[in-house]
Structure 1
Amino acid sequence: MPEIFADLSTPLVADACVRHGVPLRVAPPGIGAVAPGHRVAGRVLPVRHYGSVDVFLEAFGGAEPGDVLVIDNGGRSDEACVGDLAVLEAETAGVAALVVWGLHRDTPELVEIGLPVFSYGAFPPGPVRLDEREPEALSTARFGTHLVSTDDLVFGDEDGVLFVAADRADEVLATAHRIRDTEREQARRIRAGETLRRQTTFDDYLARRAVDPSYTFRQHLRRTGGAIEE
């Protein structure tokens, strides 16, 4: 799974989702890798946290190699829900990474372990609560306004994290590769002295918009084969 995302980025995948009408399910802003440069790509292994690590241990029993543990901790900022022992155990279960809607702790140890962990930051205290467990504890996880399950893939890099339905992933990733190639060629031409305005025949766009105010730049890009937006 990481190989198919190796030369892509979350912005490219997001643009491809828009192009195909696939719902944009993006983690709320602010999420990042504990160790800079880490990336994530894999099937979602969902789990909801209620204050005890036991739910993680139970989730690991159903893990498949390469899964990404997606932890729903409600976006809480008053506790860290994962630390070094949970991450080490995830590694032994074949989990490829962890993505947390919440906070982590034991930062130096997590960096040393090397398993990618994405969260909203570090916080020393662990949970002191123990909430009632929901029936969906191991079947779905909330992440911001989104609900994810094993039917979804998760991708993460320096720009953030997003989720894509597994049954739409092939077309989305194929389009993301095409957008990447187009943008690379556009960047090469800019460096060679051909402005983006010239590449996109921007003057033509302005002239046509003057006649037809409903004509959008996005429509123009589709007609001319550009890939700046979407």
Structure 2
Amino acid sequence: MTPTGGGGIELSSATVHEAAGRIGSLPSAIKPLSPDMHLAAPAFPVRVPPGDNLWLHRAVYAARRGEVLIVDTGGGLEYGYWGEILAEAAIARGLAGLVINGGVRDSRQLIELGWPVFAERLCVRGTGKDPHGDGELGEPVQLGEVVIGLGDLVVADADGVVCIPAARADDVRNRSVERERTETEYIQRLRAGETTVALYGLP
């Protein structure tokens, strides 16, 4: 799925969440570094040991072009796992973005690069690079209540991040496009004087 649906509609995280049956929303603390960041791409899951980012360096070269890194830090939130150098490496590899349940740093430079970064926090605290650290590439990870597997659909924007199982991606895309078109029609009708109560058939 590309960042846009049929007819050039850019699908939002909220629309995809609703179209999928209100599933897949990651913890609301995970937000973009800049509100204009948006991505829609297949997931490449990464599990790193708390306070260590060696597996992220490996992930940049293991993931395929167009994939987004989905990173589980094992609860070690208070570290800056990702910064300008890794972002430049990921851009050179053609990766789609980063979603991490943990901290990043070099935020000003990351925003200037414009490459989508969605993080739980900003943190200057450095990380280690233990060659024997317990991590994984391409295996399912869990962020909040959602388990994300390789190739699952990730849609992220200013409202948050949603992950949908790959097997449902095409159906959810189509439902999302239809929902966006319906909402566009509703907005036009509201501007013409109709009410939300009438539009939604509310009591």
Task: Kindly indicate whether residue 146 of structure 2 is the aligned counterpart of residue 143 of structure 1.
Answer: no
Which structure would you say has the larger Rg?
1
Aligned partner of 1:99 in structure 2 is: 99
Distance change (3 Å), C-alpha of 1:177 and 1:62: same
More contact order relative to length (CA 8 Å, sep ≥ 6) = 2
State the AA in 2 paired with 1:108. R
Report the CA distance between 1:70 and its aligned residue.
0.9
Evaluate the alpha carbon distance shift between residue 201 and residue 137 of structure 1 in structure 2; reply closer, same or farther with a 3 A threshold. Answer: closer
Q: What is the alpha-carbon distance in structure 2 between the residues aligned to residue 167 and residue 31 of structure 1?
A: 24
SS at match of 1:46: strand
Q: Which moved more, 1:93-102 or 1:143-152?
A: 143-152
Provide the rounded CA distance (Å) in 1 between the counterparts of 2:38 and 2:10: 11
Equivalent residue pairs, number: 198
Matches within 5 A, 1:49-60: 49-50=48-49, 51-60=51-60
Q: Please, which runs of 5 or more residues in structure 1 have no aligned partner?
A: 207-230
Q: Tell me the residue number matched to 2:198.
A: 198
Match of 1:210 in 2: none
Paired with 2:138 and 2:197, the residues of 1 have a C-alpha distance of: 50
Aligned to 1:38: 37
RMSD: 2.1
Structure 1 match to 2:11: 8
CA contact (8 A) 1:74 1:143 kept: no
Aligned partner of 1:184: which letter?
T
Q: Where does the alignment leave 5 or more consecutive residues of structure 2 unmatched?
A: none
Asked whether the equivalents of residues 38 and 157 of structure 1 are also in contact (C-alpha less than 8 Å), the reply is yes
Distance 1:129 1:90 in 2: 18
Alpha-carbon contact 1:87-1:115 (below 8 Å) kept: yes
List aligned pairs for 1:117-196, cutoff 5 A: 117-127=117-127, 132-134=133-135, 136-196=136-196
**TM-score, normalised via structure 1 length:** 0.78
Identity, in percent, stands at 30
- In structure 2, distance between residues paired with 1:36 and 1:201: 33
Residues 60 and 90, structure 1, Cα contact 8 Å, conserved in 2? yes
For 1:220, the equivalent position in structure 2 comes to none
Which has the larger helix fraction?
Answer: 1
Aligned pair in 2 of structure 1 residues 198, 52: CA closer, same or farther (>3 Å)? closer
What do residues 36-70 of structure 1 show as CA deviations (whole Å, max 9, x unaligned)? 21001101011111243321222223222111011
The answer (yes or no) to whether the contact 2:43–2:152 under 8 Å persists in 1 is: yes
Task: Report the AA paired with residue 19 of structure 2.
Answer: A
Q: Is the 8 A contact 1:49 1:71 kept in 2?
A: yes
Whole-angstrom distance in 1 between the partners of 2:97 and 2:170: 21
In the alignment, which residue of structure 2 is the partner of 1:221?
A: none
SS class of match (1:2)? coil
1:184 Cα offset (Å): 1.5
